[in-house]
Each structure stands twice: as C-alpha cells, then as structure tokens.
Structure 1
Amino acid sequence: MGDTVGDSLRRVAKGAAIFFIGSIVGLFIAFIGRIIVVRYVSPSQFGVLSLSLVVFTILCTIASMGLPEGLTRQASYFLGKKDLEKVKAVFGAGIYLSTISGLLAAAGLFALSDVLAEFFGMPDVSWTLKIFSFALPVAMLNRTLVSIFRTYERADVKVIFSDLLPNTLRVAFIVAMVILSMSFYWVVMAYFFSIVISGIVFLTYSLRNVEFKTSESVFKYFKILIFFSLPLLIQSILGMLITWTDTLMIGYYLASSDVGLYNGAQPLAGLMQNFLASVSFLYFPIVSQLYARNQLREMGRTYAVVTKWLMSASLPIFLVLFFFPDAVLWLLYGEAYVPAAYALRALALGFFTHVMLGPNGLTLIAAGEAKFPTIAGFIAAVINFVLNLILIPLFGITGAAIASASTYATANAMISLKLYKDYKIHPFTKNYVKPAFISLAVALLIYLISKTLIQVEGWMLPVLFILFVVIYLLSLLFTRSFDQEDVMIMLSIEQRLGVDLTWAKRVLKRFV
C-alpha cells in the first residue's frame, strides 16, 4: 500500500507544482488588477462590471456544453489505445463544436443585452454585455485548447495561456488607462482586449504545436462528444448556479453598489479554492486508476493525505479572513468596502468547508458515482436559491453570503457522507484533526485578546498571517502529526523545483 500511495502522491505533487505556482501567480496578478479597478471606479461601476462578467461566465459555461471535460476524456481514451488519428479527430470535433456554439452564444448575448440590462435595472449593463459578446467565441476556443493540452498532461500550457498571459495583459491595460485617466468604458475594454489578444496568441501556439490533420471523419465524433459531455454540462451548470446565484439575486433585489461590495468580498474567500484546483488536475485520473485496480485502501489514503495538505494550506488564510474581515477589506479596497465584512466572514467559512473536505466529489466520480454528485448539486442549487430569496431581502449581501456558505456546507456534507457510507473513505485522521483543532483554539484566543486590548489594522494582517502559519506548523510538530507521505512529497518538490530541503526533511523525520 505504501509504495502505491507514495507513487500516487508524488504524481499529484509533480503535476500540481506548476499548476499551483502558476495559478497563484496568475491569481495574484488578477487580484492586483481588481484592486486597481476597485479603487479607480465607483462601487456602482464596479457592480456593473462584476455583473456583466458573471453573465459572460455563465453563458461561456452553458455554451461549452461540457465539451472541455468530454474532449479530454475521449481524447485520452484514444491516446491510451495509441490511436492517434482518432485523437486528432476528437480535437477537430471539439474545435468545430466550440466555435459554432461560441458564435451562437455571442449572437444571443448581443441580442439580449438590453433585456438583461432592464431586468437588473442597470442601463450600463447593456453596452458592457455587447462588448463582451464579441469576446465570447474566443473565450470558448481558449477552453477547448486547454482541454486539448490537458490530454497530454501539459499543465504548463494551461498556466501560461489561461492564468498568466490574460491577467498580465489586463493589468497592463488597466494601469495604462489609469495613468491616462481614461473613462470606465476603457476599463471594460481592458478586460475585452486581454481575452482576445491572449486567445489569438494561444491559437497561434496551438497550431504550431498540435497536429490536427487526420484521416478520420471529424463530424462523426460530434455525436460522441455531445452525448458524453451533456451530463458533465449539467454538473457544470449546477456548480455555476451555486456560484453566481447570489450575485445575480443581489443585482435584482439591491443596488449595483451592493453587487460591487459583494464581489469585492467573494474572490477573497475564493482564494482557498485555488489550492483545491491545483491538486485536482492530476488527482482525478490517478484515483480513477486506483479504483480500476480495486485499490480502495490506497485510494482512501491518497484522498486523506491530499485533503490534509489542502486544509493545511488554507487554514492560515481562513483564520485571517474569518477573524479580521474588516481589516482585510480596508487594507485591500479602502473604507468603502468595510460594510462587506460580515459577508466576507460567512463566505470564508463556506469556502473553507469546501476545501477542508477535499476533492470528495472527484473521488466519488472516480468510483463510478457520477450521478450522486449531480443530485447533490441539484439539491444544493435549490437550497441556495431559496435561501437567497429569503435572506437577501432581510440581511442584504450578508444574507447572500450566509446562503452560499450554507449551500457549500450542505453539498459537501452530502457527498462526504456518501463517500464514507459506500467506501469508508474520509479525511479525518488524527494527524488531520489534532493540529487543526489546536490552531483554531489558539487563533480564537488571539482574536479575543485583540478585540479586548488592541484594534487590528490593515498593516498587522501580514504579521497575523505569518503568526497563524507558525502556530499551525508548531502544532504539527508538537502533536507529531506529520505522515511518511509528507516526507515523500517534500522530496518530489525538491526534485521538481531544484531546491535543497535537506534541513526540512531532517526536522520532519524526527516528528513522524
């Protein structure tokens, strides 16, 4: 069991290293751009931009029809059979379908932009959606190209063209427009240009590095891709509804400034999910292989260790966001966004619940249980809508945040209970629980002391974050909560990044 689990975890770590570092850098760049925009435009204008981007993202997801995931699966299947002509045929079918779907979705968004603006009571949403409609086919093509390179396990391509290039271009355009004191219209154009230019560069790179010509008929793979991808589309839509229902309903019930406030807080809490995304890229195929070999114990152990890593990485961020949300918002966005503090606290709790239970949905799907996560997603989407319907009129954006947090907790609890009931798989080992409990207790004590004796200000947050990291690491050491796999993963990181971690490995081995 040990060798199998160790090999699985090393493979996850090697794939996640580039993915994680690249996505974090990309997220940081995007976050810098968001802060500049928030400080440059009014909350009402930021609300219009945020709502337009939500509609754009939703339409991209629907128009994709689940094709990115379906394409990767089908192409990987034929690649495993060493049938390269069929692999290229699937690639071609995916390109054709995403292009057609993207053009139709773009036409629909342009035509309905005035209706949507009237529905939300925000006239400026009309022209912003018209602009974004022209970028929609490019965004669709980008998703398809990422799935093509994912077939070959090229996480570096995804990082470069989905995380780094568009975010860097966007920030560069935004900075230039701020320096030139340009209007809100040009801020919107900065987002548009970053999508289109990065898409053109990505397409050029793909044409030079991927062979698309094939002797197979591309069109006969349309049906294969569509029918396989539609169930994945249902899951994507449900996840999207859970993610964006709160923003859309805030736009309906409240003012555009409230949308801006909420969308200042939501991405902060969502930072924790980046750790989950970084390991999911290779975790899913690896645990699928373990299940295929009937290695359920190894599968459960891999899930438990990966989830512990996710919780460990997310805990310090959660503690800062949960205990000091007002200081975080003041530091990053300014005093105008401090009213979103309670919403940020609720959202942080909801997202942390998601991360602390790890890739439970992917583990179920790897075990052939694709139907249950869809059912759980449907129930969660209904709960989310009902709670938003009740809580937003009563508590504003805080009500929306409570609805989202409750939804994440409910959906993940359902999936984790199913995972434990059917396969006896759960993440709550003693090495997971002990340091987490001690760290939470100490953090609560620090919070109570700070509320009594001092006023925590923005400049103190980096110190608090480092303090929480140190507290968690010390709790790991003194409770001897390191696993053998932690040493293995450090070896993988050392080999991948070329960093000498001998001293750290020596310390770990004393406490395993």
Structure 2
Amino acid sequence: MARHDPVVAQVSVSAPQLRTLRDRALRGTARGGLLNLFGAAVAGAGGLAITWLVAFGLGPQAAGQFFAATSAFLIATAVARLGTPTGLVYWVARCRAHDPSGLDTVLRAGLVPATVASLLIAVVAFAWAPQLSLWHEDGGPQFVAMLRALAVFLPAAVAMEALLAATRGFQRMRATVAIEKLGRTVAQLGLLWVAVSWLSGFSDQQGGITAVAVAWALPYLPAAVMAGLWLRRLRATRVPAAVEPPDLPTTARRFWAYTTPRAIAGAAHLILQRMDILLVAGMLGFTEAALYTVATRFVTVAQLTSGAIGSAVQPRLATSMSAADYDTAKSLYQVTTGWIVISSWPILLSVGWLAPQYLGVFGSEYVTTAGVTVVWLLVAGMLSATVCGVVDSVLVMAGRTGWQLYNVVVALAVNLGLNLWLIPSQGIVGAAIAWAVSLAVNNVIPLALLNGGFRLHPIGNGTVTAIGLTVGWFGVLPALASAMGGPGVMVAALSIGGIGLVASAWRSRNTLLRPARQ
C-alpha cells in the first residue's frame, strides 16, 4: 500500500531536528489539549444540563420533538459545511508551514462555498419542513414550526464551525474553547433555562415549543460573528516563519480535492450519530425518542473529550505528516490516545455502574430496563471507540480523506441497516446495538488502514498504562463493590476510584505524557 499522498510534501529533516519537532509538537498539543479538555468539560456538562432541562421541563412527548428537530438541524449543518472545517485546519496549517502566500486562497476556497451551501440548504429546509413532519406519526404544526425556526440559524452554525476551524489551523485553540465550548454552551443553557421555565406550561402550543428551539439555536449568531473577528485578527497579526518554497502552489482545486471526500464523510459521520434519534422518533414516536436520547446523551461527554484532544493535535499532525515525519505523528497519536482513555473511561464506566441513577436524574419515567440496557451497550461501544484514539484525525491529516470516506460510508450503511432491522422488533435497544456495532466498524477499519499504510497505531506505553489504571480503579473496584451493597456503596467505590486514579496518574505522569523512545 502506498505510504505517500500527492498533497503531502516530502521534506528532509535530520534526526535531532525530528526529535526537537516531536517534543515541541507534544508540548504544544498538551497545552492546547488541556485548554480544550477544560472547554470540553464545560460543554459536556452543559450538554447534559440542556438535556435535563428539556427532558425534565417539557416531558417526554415535547422533549422528543425537540431532540428530533435539533438532530435534523445538526445533520443539515453537517451537510452544509461541505467538509470545510477539516479542510481549513489542514490547509491553513500546511500553508503556514510551506506556502504563506496561499492562506487567502485557502480561506476563500473554504468559506465562500460553505456560506452559499448553508443558505441554500436553509431555504430548502424551511420550505420542506411540513414534508419532514409527515414522516413522524405524532408530528404536527409545532414540530414544523420548530424545524423552520432552526433552519433560520443554520447559516450561522456553519459559519461558526468553519471560521473556528480556520483559527485552529493557526495552532490556536483559544477561540474554539472561548466561543464554542464556553460561550455558546453557557448562552444556550441560560436561554433554555429561561424558555423552559417560562414557557413549559405552554409546551402543547406552537409558540411555546418553538421558543425553546429558538433559545437553543440563537447563540450561534453571536458565536459566528466573534469567530469571524478572531480569525481576522489572527490573519492580520500572525506571520508564518520563512520556509522552503512549496512543492506545488496552493489552489482552490487542490483544497477541494482534499476536502470533497471529507465533506461526504463528515455528513455521513454526523448522520451516523444522529439519524438513530430520527429513526426512533419516526418508528416508535417522540416519547421513545426522548428516552433514547436521555439514555445515550452521556456519550457526548466522551466524544467531546476525544474531540477536544483531536482538535488540539490536528494541526500538528498535519505539519508532521506533510513533512513525512511519521515518528512525530506516531508519538502524537499514541500519547493522545492515552490521554483520551484516562479522561473518558472513568466517566463512561461511572455512568454504566450508576445507570438507573443516571436515568433517574432526568425523571422517573426515564428509568426503564430498556434504558439501562441502552446505557451499557453504549458504554461498551465507546470504550472500544476511544481506545482507537483520534484515528479519524490521523487518517485525514495524512491526506487520506478518500479512505475515511469509505470507512464512514460502510459504518453508516451498517448502522442504517441494523436500525431498520432491529428497531421495529427490539425498540431503543435495537438502535443502541446498531450504534455500538457501527462504532466498532468506524474505528477498526481505519485503524487497520493506518497500520498497514503508515505503521501508525494507538497502542504505546502511555495507552497501556492508562487502560490499566482506569480498568483497575473504575472496573475492578466497582465490580467488587456491586457485590457488596447498593448505590451508596457504589458511589463510595467510584469516589475512591477517582482519588486513586488521580494519584496513580500523577505517579505515572512521565509515561502518560511522554512517548516511548524511538
């Protein structure tokens, strides 16, 4: 299998320089990763709080409509952004390293088409909202109103994501953390609290439920404006270091040759994450969709953790892969996988051990045997997914967007096929099985491709250490506690596990933070 790609420049660098670049990349990734992890923690907690506000405040029927409508909005956003976030991260980072004069070409090539596409899709979504509503048996005028209200904010959501991606290409994470993970999340939570508190009594009326949707979507507008201003400042003040001339000039054609597969893959990936909610709503009703959303919402915390580290490492992966510095790329991949495991596995396992209590937070009507089963199925799926690390980011930053496209299309086909087969007979448990299986497919295939094409894999000393520590403190210890008593004993065991994990991680910090010697 070929190890090189036409968009990857081959640069000759000495061994001492490679070690220096690797150490510098790891330090930069650690700083950006910690900042992003803080933002992910806020965004994850905010996302759970938003789910609680809607589920608890509106009741299962209205909450299911909200979750279905916002899922449709996020899928439409993924289609409209045309893959530009990843394309901008890769090409801005690459231009800064090899072709500073191409920065404006890249920004125009990415931002203009995404803006046009988002406006067109928003118009289509607004016009076709009644047709989408007919697909849901218990949909009605209020569901149509929600869909149309959300369509108005779709261009702002696309602009925010694309502009923030461009700032990450400058190897700056602050804009993403401050604007998206902190600002937008806090604004959404505050506005939703007001809307649900004041209007939950009118949730059966069109204006009430639409106001809740508007409260959720409105923060995208100021976030997009702030992202544009931040990028403008970065473009004006940050001057790349002088480098050798590029192997090929930067053009819009080359940008889209790289980005087009990512556009399809990005939309398919979001559909993979959100289509099951729409399928459950369409086949089983909005009440079951609310239960399924509540039971699976904890997954977003682990996804945000992985995404935070992935966002920090992407531009550095792009730089190392463009220079054919596979040692640095391997170090980045393995070290960050250990970080993902040790930061996400405790959350996943804790939710699993306390599944009934977790569901009960959203309301007693959500505590069901099916709900607990869904929680454990998704815990298992996410444990296997996170141990693969930022496999998608590595594949994309290697220039193999075509490979990623094939992977996600296969995973989506598996997901849709299993959903259509299992939901009618197994309900939300069938949807959870489909998601868990597709997660495995979406990670194992690219893992095999990376190992075969570049000899890159996520298992290093830090990964093994992180797995051992988390399994010991959050797997073995709670399992022993579950045989001894009820929820109180389990909470105590998990608390001890948290303290033990922090202490053990500190003692093993050199292994977790540094790669093995090459």
What TM-score do you get using the length of structure 2 for normalisation? 0.82
Whether the 8 Å contact between 1:377 and 1:411 is mirrored in structure 2 is yes
Structure 2 spans left out of the alignment, 5+ residues: 1-17, 203-208, 238-249
Q: Could you tell me which of 347, 356, 373 is aligned with 1:326?
A: 356
1:34 maps to what in 2? 51
From 413, 424, 442, the equivalent of 1:411 is 442
Instruction: Kindly state the Cα deviation for residue 325 of structure 1 after the two structures are TM-superposed.
Output: 1.2
Distance 1:239 1:484, change over 3 A: same
For residues 505 and 222 of structure 2, the distance between their equivalents in structure 1, rounded to whole angstroms, comes to: 46
Q: 1:227 to 1:258 in 2, by over 3 A?
A: same
Number of the residue aligned with 1:185: 210
The answer to whether residue 172 in structure 2 is matched with residue 154 in structure 1 is yes
Aligned-residue offset at 1:316? 1.1
Aligned residues: CA RMSD:
3.0
**Conserved? CA contact 2:156–2:220, under 8 Å:** yes
Q: Residue by residue, what CA displacement relative to the aligned partner does 1:369-404 show, whole Å, maximum 9, x if unpaired?
A: 433332222221111112112221222111111111
Identity of aligned residues (%): 19
Query: Is 1:108 equivalent to 2:124 in the alignment?
Result: yes
Query: Does the aligned pair in 2 maintain the 1:435–1:472 contact within 8 Å?
Result: no
1:481/1:246 CA distance change after superposition, 3 Å: same
Task: Note if contact 2:305-2:343 (Cα within 8 Å) is conserved in structure 1.
Answer: yes
Conserved? CA contact 1:43–1:261, under 8 Å: yes
Distance 1:484 1:348, change over 3 A: closer
| 3-state secondary structure, aligned to 1:358 | coil
Instruction: Measure, in 2, the Cα distance between the counterparts of 1:291 and 1:89.
Output: 22
Is 2:372 the partner of 1:354? no
Q: Secondary structure at the match of 1:333?
A: coil
8 Å Cα contact 1:76/1:87 also seen in 2: no
Separation in structure 2 between the aligned mates of residue 138 and residue 234 of structure 1, nearest angstrom: 20
Distance 1:253 1:205, change over 3 A: same
Identify which of 267, 275, 283 aligns with 2:305. Answer: 275
**For residues 440-485 of structure 1, what are the alpha-carbon distances to aligned partners after superposition, in whole Å with 9 as ceiling and x for unaligned?**
366455444444442216xx776444322334456668xx865456
Alpha-carbon spacing, 1:258–1:118, altered in 2? closer, same or farther (3 Å)? same
Conserved in 2, the CA contact under 8 Å of 1:247 and 1:262? yes
Q: CA contact under 8 A between 1:66 and 1:232: conserved in structure 2?
A: yes
Residue from 335, 342, 367 that aligns with 1:338: 367
In 2, Cα distance between equivalents of 1:185 and 1:464 = 43
Task: Name the residue aligned to 2:513.
Answer: 486
Q: Which moved more, 1:60-69 or 1:172-181?
A: 172-181
Structure 2 counterpart of 1:496 = none
- Residue 40 and residue 487 in structure 1: after superposition, are their counterparts in 2 closer, same or farther (change >3 A)? same
CA distance in 2, matches of 1:432, 1:79: 31
How far did residue 104 of structure 1 move?
0.6
Letter in 1 for 2:57: Y
Aligned length: 476
Q: Secondary structure at the match of 1:42?
A: helix
User: For the residues of structure 2 that align with 1:447 and 1:287, how far apart are their CA atoms?
Assistant: 37
CA contact (8 A) 1:361 1:373 kept: yes
Q: Secondary structure at the match of 2:377?
A: helix
Question: TM-score normalised to the size of structure 1?
Answer: 0.83
* Contact 2:89 2:315 (C-alpha < 8 Å) held by counterparts: no
Tell me, in whole angstroms, the C-alpha distance in 2 between the residues paired with 1:402 and 1:20.
29
Mark the runs of 5 or more structure 1 residues left unpaired by the alignment. Answer: 213-219, 490-512
> Residue 191 of structure 1: CA displacement?
1.3
Contact 2:86–2:165 under 8 Å retained in 1: yes
Contact kept, 8 Å, 1:47 with 1:258, in 2: the verdict is yes
Structure 1, 257-266 or 298-307: larger mean CA deviation: 298-307
Cross-structure match for 2:240 = none
Per-residue Cα deviation, 1:337-380 (whole angstroms, up to 9, x for no partner): 22222111111221221111111233234444433332222221
Shift of 1:205: 5.6
Seen in structure 2, the aligned counterparts of structure 1 residues 112 and 351 have a Cα distance that, compared at 3 Å, is same
The structure-2 alpha-carbon separation of the partners of 1:346 and 1:22, relative to structure 1 and needing over 3 Å to count, comes to: same
In the alignment, which residue of structure 1 is the partner of 2:338? Answer: 308
1:497 matched residue in structure 2: none
Instruction: Report the equivalent of 2:246.
Output: none
Q: Distance in 1 between matches of 2:378 and 2:399?
A: 31
The separation in 2 between residues aligned to 1:466 and 1:2, in whole angstroms, is: 40
CA contact (8 A) 2:87 2:110 kept: no
- Among 176, 182, 186, the alignment partner of 2:194 is 176
The one-letter code of the counterpart of 1:257 is T
1:140 maps to which of 146, 158, 163: 158
Residue 50 (1) aligns with residue 77 (2)? no
Please tell me whether the aligned partners of residues 6 and 488 of structure 1 are also in contact (alpha carbons under 8 angstroms): no
Measure the CA separation in 2 of the matches of 1:130 and 1:249: 20
Instruction: Give the aligned partner of residue 237 of structure 1.
Output: 267
- Report the Cα distance in structure 1 between the residues aligned to 2:311 and 2:390, rounded to whole angstroms: 11
Counterpart position of 1:21: 38
Cα deviation code 1:160-212 (max 9, x no counterpart): 22222222222222222344345333222211322234334544665676559
Question: Amino acid of the residue matched to residue 417 of structure 1?
Answer: A
Q: Does 1:129 align with 2:160?
A: no
Distance 1:422 1:106, change over 3 A: closer
Taking structure 1 as reference, are residues 209 and 30 closer, same or farther at Cα in structure 2, changes over 3 Å only? same
